[in-house]
Structures are given as structure tokens and as C-alpha cells.
Structure 1
Amino acid sequence: MRTYLKKYPYLIVLPLIAALAAWFLFKNEPEEEVDPMIFATSSSQETKQSSQEWYVDVKGAVKQGGMYRITQGMRLMDAIELAGGFTTEADQNQINFSKLLADQEIIYVPKIGEELPTIHETDSNKTTASETEKININTADVNELQQLSGIGEKRAADIVKYREENGSFRAVEDLTKVSGIGEKTLENLKDSITI
């Protein structure tokens, strides 16, 4: 057998080359890709939605104030940590560490002795501070209506009664249709009411 292999050495080499070639071919063959959406469940889609990026603006008594990228489900303390933590003058008693964050939120950390300022965000979906202070004459109850200048218990009850009988006010000026409310009263109320 040895003399035979010495006479025909390619009989050993050829099968080795063929085996190596076959191994390389099968090793480098691209695997069939499977569309991940075929196996996607609702929970994996929820995970995808919950991992979307949001941004918050951190200001005040933090080491590095600025805008930070967060993901849905993060809490206020996470944003403080992204900003390098509190400074020594931060008043941590005014902060709710566990508050869930929202996209485009402004986080302000006050200094000791400083009151937490009211920050008005300019989001078209959110009501402005002046609109929030106004009393909606279509939804306010008797007690809320009495907070208006010149409106007592009887006038407030008349406004509610008018609404019940005639439906919602279509304009602020319709308030003059309520007995006992004239143009002068309406002028005094215009800045503090809305529909």
C-alpha cells in the first residue's frame, strides 16, 4: 500500500483538497434571513415603542445642565444622573425623584431657599397658563363660578340653570343672555372666562 501511495501521492491530496473546498463553500454560504416581523409579538412591538428616544431639558442646581436623550419609562432621578447629579446647593426636598418623564419636559432643580419656578412649555397641545386660570363657563360648577368677580351664589346658579335649559354657551358674549348679567358685568369678566 505504501508503494502504491508513493507512486500515486495525489490520491491522498485530492480528497483533502475536496474536503477543504466543500467546508469553505458551506461555511461562507449566506444564511437565509428571516423577517423579524414574522415572529414579532405585541410585547416585542411594545418594547420597540418604549425604546423610542425622548429628550428632556435639565436646568438649575445640577452639575451639567442641558438637553439629554432618554427613553420612555425613565424617571426624574435618571435625568438628574445624566446631568452629573446635584450640586451641593440643590434643594432635593422639592424634587419628586420617582416622577415619570415625558418627551420635551423641562426639569428644574432649585437651590436651597429658592422656590420652584413655574415653567410654561410652548407645546401647542398644552394649555397656556392664562388659559388654565380662566374659568370655563360651559363646564364650571356653582362653586367655581362664584370665584368670578361680581358673581355670587344666585348668579352662579342662574348660569348653570341657563346651561341646563339652553345648552352650552357658543361665545363668551352669550353670558349676557343669563338674567342679571349685563354688558358691564361681561366686560369685567371677559379676561377671566372662556368657553
Structure 2
Amino acid sequence: MKFNDQQKKYALLAVGGAVLFLVLWLVFRPPEEAAQDEPLFSTQETTTTTSSSQTQAETDWYVDLKGAVANPGMYRIKEGMRLMDAIEMGGGFTDEADRNQVNLAKLLSDQEIVYVPKVGEEIPVVQEAAQGPAAAAPTEGGGGEEATEKININTADAAQLQQLSGIGEKRAQDIINYREENGSFQSVEDITNVSGIGQKTLENLRNSITI
């Protein structure tokens, strides 16, 4: 069977089109193997999620709320929360609470014991798990030679600070204001950064305070 020129031309065009299609398909076909090898879950995403969970856990603090509050107990707080937040978590003050002895603006710390006294009651000596003593009072018997617990100048409220020799209401508030503006004291010597407290006062307080 013989082909004329017109038929030969069509045959060549058909073959050329088929070859061109095959070449284009090989060049532009989707990377199936790469898609199959791609993991369903990214390790980086999993690591980021785990790290985020650990960070969340590390920022959770706990305080032990005691005394004249509706629901005493241990409460989870966040860094930067204040005593008023813990009181709200505990259902608020009871009718017997002496609010004048409580500094609601006080910054809370992890593992801190918060005690709300009743009217006419003195704040008892409370030993914190990690932060040191939260308050100081003479030991039973009240003898001048009896040892006393040191007051933590980073956690004590105004009433506790006023138990220190030479620290009145105004100076106690100055210590609290300094703490809130500049952060925790890094050493007992830093208390001299508070206006009105010098080296002489520091020497009188050195055996009575801690951080």
C-alpha cells in the first residue's frame, strides 16, 4: 500500500505530536515519590507543641491560701499575679478578716503561703517551702534572747515589714513600692537602695531579714 504526499505529511505530524506529548509529560509529571516520602506530621511542629506545653507548665505557680477567706486551699497562679487575685480565687474575705493587715497589691511568688488574719489576730510565723520565712515574730516566751525567724523582704507585706526594727508604716510602703517598680531584691544589701535606708539601718536589720 502506497501513501501519497498528503498522507505522509499527516503521519509525520501524528508521530511528532506523540513524541512531543511524551517529552512534556516526562518533564512536568508530579513528583510522586517525593509526595509519598513526606511525613504526615512534621517533627518540627511536634517539637514546637511539646516545647510550648513545657513552657506553659513552667509558668504555673502555686500558693497556699490560709486564714480568714471563704475557701482556703492551694491555688494555681501565674507569674505577676497579686495577692488580691489569690483572695478572689479563694472566694473573698470572711466577715472576720482583718483587711488592714493585708496588702492586696503584693506580688505573689511560687510556693508562697498567704495568711489572712482575723480582726485582733496577729499574723503567725509562716515558713515558706522555697522562698524562706514569710513573716517574723518572737518565739514563744518573748524573751529578748530568743531567736526570731527572719523576714523575707521580697515577700513580706507592710504589716510584716513593720515588725522590723526602725521600719515604720511609710518605710514599709517604700520597700514594697521599690519591689514593685524594680523587682525582687537580689541581696539583703540591696535594701539600701530604698530611699531613707542607709548602711546603719542595714546593719541593724541584717540579722532579721532574708531574701
TM-score relative to the length of structure 2: 0.39
